[in-house]
Amino acid sequence: MNSLTPTEFLNLVNQTLDYSYSSTVIVGEVASFKVNQGKWVFFDIKDAESSVNCFMTLWSLRQPIEDGMKVMVRGVPKITKWGKFSFTVTSISPVGEGSLKKAYEMLKKKLTAEGLFDIGKKRPLPKDITSLGIISSTGAAGYADFIKIINARWGGIHAQVAHTQVQGMDAADQIIRALKYFNEHGEVQVIAILRGGGSADDLACFNDEALVREIAASKIPVITGIGHEIDESLADLAADVRASTPSNAAELLTPDRSEMSAKLSHTINRTEQLLLQEISRATTQNHDKLNNLSRSLLTDYIAPAISQNRQTINRVSGALLTRYIEPLRQSNHHKMTQILQKIQGECNLAQQNISNKLRTLEALNPEKVLKQGYAILSGKISPGNVVKITTFKESITAEIKQVHTRK
């Protein structure tokens, strides 16, 4: 049987452990947390019954950790050369609402003190975006919302999408790599980091210290659209612009083509109104000028000319009166007199004729005969008949006794 040295034995055991338990994840509570020589971190991770010694380098520590926090650690079990069991941690992150909140507050305080979130460092987003870097998971709902809205609102943008995880222990590193990629290539005007809503654990990667520092150091302006309105990550605080959601990020990055269309229409209408007002004003001004000009002509030229030529005008009008108008008037008067005389003669003749007829009628009037003593007998002349006798003054009824024929 081959014998082994202690070193060989431990190497063999460690190979076996590494093969069997590579990338093991343990979730538990932190105890006895301490940092040695500013480089090495030691702590225990425990539950109600057991405890595991953990070791890691300080630079691997991405979020503040302290005793009592619930954490998730990933690493490899190992036996040290002194024969002591240890879990070598490659990554650690708080889990559970309380621990996450505690870590968030601690890191926020630290980075705020460093000035990482200073408002003065924020850069405005470029107005006319034609190139955009997107960091998101292409399968995520938040990414789909962003693409849908940006396509509806605007066009002409070349968007390069870096597909990364947006939750879990590897997400922060992948997002950091994508940020480095866009900054190194320098082809985009702005970088959008997008992730839809999720639990505090889902969004924990956006409170990763290294990621927050990478965002703050980005040469290209960064906009974040992570979670919902109420979810404020440290990545949001470090970004130049924080959108409340991926959809909101799309709205902040692009103008709305329908709003632009309405604005265009309004601009043209406003310009048309202005033009019409100017034309109207110019027309009024020209009208006033013409009036002023005609008044000036009348006052300055025509009236003096009339005054100066008044004698000439009088002489001409007198000559016109004597030579033309008065003879015409005389001629008309003579004709009128002749017509009137003719009418008068006709009237006298008619009057004479009527008088003669009246006299004839007067002579035939029966009343005049009765007045001379005659009487009028009316009725059938026959003995025994009753007749009517009319005199000038009386009307008599008489019976006929006898009828004799005159000789």
Residues near another protein (CB under 8 A): 128, 130, 138, 147, 150-151, 154-165, 170, 174-175, 177-178, 181, 257, 260-261, 264-265, 267-268, 270-272, 274-275, 278-279, 282
Instruction: Work out how close the CB of 277 gets to another protein at its nearest, in angstroms, rounded to a whole number.
Output: 10
CB 208 within 8 A of CB 62: yes
Instruction: Work out how close the CB of 260 gets to another protein at its nearest, in angstroms, rounded to a whole number.
Output: 6
Nearer to another protein, 97 or 170 (CB): 170
Tokens of 361: 């009628």
Handedness of CA 227, 228, 232, 236 (dihedral sign): positive
Give me the DSSP letters along 4-49: --HHHHHHHHHHHHHHHHTTEEEEEEEEEEEEETTTEEEEEEE-SS
In angstroms, the Cα distances linking 20 to 16, 52, 54 are 6, 17, 18
Nearer to another protein, 151 or 199 (CB): 151
> Could you give the 3-state DSSP secondary structure of residue 88?
strand
Instruction: Work out how close the CB of 206 gets to another protein at its nearest, in angstroms, rounded to a whole number.
Output: 16
Instruction: Work out how close the CB of 87 gets to another protein at its nearest, in angstroms, rounded to a whole number.
Output: 24
Instruction: Work out how close the CB of 81 gets to another protein at its nearest, in angstroms, rounded to a whole number.
Output: 31
Give the rounded distance of the alpha carbon of 50 from its chain centre. 66
Tokens of 286: 């020209």
Q: Which helix (H) or strand (E) holds 353?
A: helix 326-363
Nearer to another protein, 96 or 168 (CB): 168
Nearer to another protein, 268 or 290 (CB): 268
Nearer to another protein, 161 or 369 (CB): 161
Judging by DSSP bridges, how do beta strands 376-378 and 386-390 pair with one another? Answer: antiparallel
Nearer to another protein, 26 or 253 (CB): 253
Instruction: Work out how close the CB of 151 gets to another protein at its nearest, in angstroms, rounded to a whole number.
Output: 6
Alpha carbons 289 and 286: distance in angstroms, whole number: 5
Instruction: Work out how close the CB of 218 gets to another protein at its nearest, in angstroms, rounded to a whole number.
Output: 15
Q: Closest Cα to residue 91, out of 76, 74, 109, 115?
A: 74
Nearer to another protein, 84 or 270 (CB): 270
Q: Looking at the chain, how many residues does it have? A: 407
Tokens of 309: 């030529």
